[in-house]
Amino acid sequence: MADNNAKLNVRGAAHDFDVLDGSIGPSVVNISSLYKDTDMFTYDPGFTSTASCESKITYIDGDEGTLLYRGYPIEQLADHGDFLESCYLLLYGELPTKVQKDDFVSRVTYHTMIHEQMNRFFSGFRRDAHPMAIMVGTVGALSAFYHDSTDIADPHQRMVASLRMIAKMPTIAAMAYKYHVGQPFVYPRNDLGYAANFLHMCFAVPCEEYKVNPVLARAMDRIFILHADHEQNASTSTVRLAGSSGANPFACIAAGIACLWGPAHGGANEAALNMLSEIGSVDNIPEYVERAKDKDDPFRLMGFGHRVYKNYDPRARIMQKTTHEVLGELGIKDDPLLDVAIELEKIALNDEYFIEKKLYPNIDFYSGITLRALGFPTTMFTVLFALARTVGWIAQWKEMVEDPSQRIGRPRQLYTGATKRDYTPIDQRR
């Protein structure tokens, strides 16, 4: 039997803490009484050793390279399921029966349109605005349009808000894209599946017929599944922290989108593709690998490394397969960027620096090549990530709101600033 007691000696005094076990994964030391007991805080910048919450949604074993949604391996969900089924699973905890699935798909499908007045929001943005800037603004603005689903204390309103966001995110993302490229908005089509409808809204134009290629729609759907949730990453933690104050769900998701935008997080797929373009040819790879290893050079290999995965990111494997399927379907035989990516991966995986630091390709390494082949500009890559991650953010937000022990998130600090001093009048300051 495991010993569920942890002892901490602080400046000569011993303190006891409980060890809590999860269903799988590392146990945690419950230090919630530490401040009361010792008058001290813990210090963990970047939260590398801190579990911020209890969750039943997603599990990652970074050493093994395992990712489970509600216990189901990502490989099985990507091979046999579809995105809306994964959405149902993440939200409700179980795979749906046929009746439940049909009902869920119908409820999402009939929420895809957005309030017509929201269209005017888009024209307020400069034509060259980054689509992520448009996303942050317009998703936050949903709370100004759907007042009947902002009462977080009402379970019905919570679910309506959740479905609205899953349903409307593709419409908003496609509108951000259309605005960005200067084409008219295309309304959703409820006879198409989730991913197919999204491709239709992005790539159809009023002057000609657009037929969605089912192989590409399937690839898009799989990309959405792979990005649907990833436990307590930076954007999800942002959504939880924003939501812990009781903010409405649309505002919380807008906060998550803002966090995702950064190049160390969701912006990495855009950065990875830009990097592959900059490297340009297989001959230039050694120079870039040397730069990535140089401590005095801030350059990093984008699409490599992960806070949690210290093994091959399981999503990267599926993504690599999807990349080949998409390129095959589109008849792209030689993509110089794919050549660079494959060779770079080979070189890095055999390099002592990357082996020793356990730096493996992550999902963003291959997703950029696929998204570009599907026809998206790099500026849209993080938008697609946000679209897919919305369900994860919502499931995590709901779990937090429904947790009776939930309190406002409020980290502490190690203060190293000036100690108390008196105000100096301006004419006496130097």
Please report, as ranges, the residues that interact with ligand CMC according to CB under 6 A: 230, 233, 264-266, 268, 292, 300-307, 357, 359, 362-364
Q: Regarding beta strands 72-73 and 66-69, do their DSSP bridges make them parallel or antiparallel, or are they unpaired?
A: antiparallel
CB of 266 to ligand CMC, least distance (A): 5
| Whole-number CA gyration radius for the chain | 23
Which residue, chain included where needed, has tokens 């149902």? 88
What is the distance between the alpha carbons of residues 247 and 150, in angstroms, rounded to a whole number?
9
Whose Cβ is closer to ligand CMC: residue 161's or residue 231's? Answer: 231
Catalytic residue among 103, 306, 351, 422: 306
Nearest to ligand CMC of 300, 321 (CB atom): 300
To ligand CMC, the closest distance from the beta carbon of 169 in angstroms equals 18
Q: Among the options 82, 364, 403, 427, which is catalytic?
A: 364
User: Could you confirm whether 306 is annotated as catalytic?
Assistant: yes
- The structure tokens 């399927």 sit at 325
Comparing CB distances to ligand CMC, the nearer of 109 and 362 is 362
Nearer to ligand CMC, 219 or 272 (CB): 272
Between the CA of residue 148 and those of 91, 108, 110, 158, 165, what are the distances in Å?
A: 20, 17, 17, 10, 14
Bridge partners of 69, per DSSP, are 58, 72
324 is catalytic: no
The residue nearest ligand CMC at its CB is 305
> Which one-letter amino acid corresponds to residue 324?
H
State in angstroms the smallest separation of the CB of 385 from ligand CMC. Answer: 8
How big is the CA angle at 349 (ends 344 and 354), to the nearest 5 degrees?
Answer: 105
Let me know: does 6 contact 16? Beta carbons within 8 Å. Answer: yes
Closer to ligand CMC by CB, 249 or 266: give it.
Answer: 266
Residue 284: name the closest of 222, 347, 334 by CA. 347
- 309: nearest Cα among 68, 64, 58, 69: 64
Smallest gap from Cβ 377 to ligand CMC, in A, equals 19
Name 413's Cβ contacts closer than 8 Å, sequence gap at least 6. Answer: 41
Nearest distance from C-beta of residue 191 to ligand CMC, angstroms: 34
* Residue positions annotated with a catalytic role: 306, 364
